[in-house]
Structure formats: structure tokens, C-alpha cells
Amino acid sequence: MPAWRGSADAIEITVRVTPRASRDVLAAGTADHFAARLAARPVEGAANTALVALVAKQFGVSRRAVTLLAGETSRLKRLAITGDVAMLEQIARSLYGMGHDG
């Protein structure tokens, strides 16, 4: 799966998480996933909560619009972001630059 793909009312993104970073950052990763560095530790869902908050902030949506679909205990996670799909895809593209095509 590419780093993101759109559907009728959401986009799904794949994110590789690195916990215990100095600050929270969401950036381009590989063609297959975004890269997130989180200050939170991977204990009792803290990193997942921090990831949802970071993705919501980066994509300009509420935390309620971001859902963890897969990877609850894995470094590689898949999330759905509901909202204006065209706008969400534009934000995803801007994180990668023009070279990535979702």
C-alpha cells in the first residue's frame, strides 16, 4: 500500500512510529509510509494517543476524525482520517513534495 490512499469520505495513511524522540514530528518516510517521531513512550497506548493528536494537528482535523485501524502494538500503523478527501490528499502530498502520488 502506498503511504496514503483516498476513499469516498476519508484517506488511509500508513505511518512508521519511532517513540521516545525529542519532539513530535510527522514527515515523509518511504513510498510505503509516513515517518512519525513521538516524544511519548510506547507504554499503555501513550504513543498511539500522541500519534492520533499529531496526525489530527498536521491534517487540520479533530482527533475524533482520526482512527487507528491497525498496528496498535506495532511500529507500523494504519490510520483513517475522515474529512474533505481532496484537502487531506493535498496535505499528504505537501508532506512528501510533488514527487509522491499517493
The number of residues making up the chain comes to 102
Domain parsing of the chain, residue ranges: 4-98
pTM strictly above 0.85 = yes
* Strands 33-37, 10-18: pairing kind: parallel
Which architecture characterizes domain 4-98 according to CATH?
2-Layer Sandwich (3.30)
Other residues' Cβ atoms within 10 Å of the Cβ of residue 1: 10
Pick from 10, 2, 4: nearest CA to 85: 10
Tens digit of each residue's pLDDT (9 = 90 or more) over 16-66: 999 999 999 999 988 899 999 999 988 888 999 999 999 999 999 999 999
Pick from 35, 38, 75: nearest CA to 53: 38
In the numeric block, which cell numbers belong to residue 74? 506495532
Cα–Cα distance for residue pair 70/74, rounded to 1 Å: 9
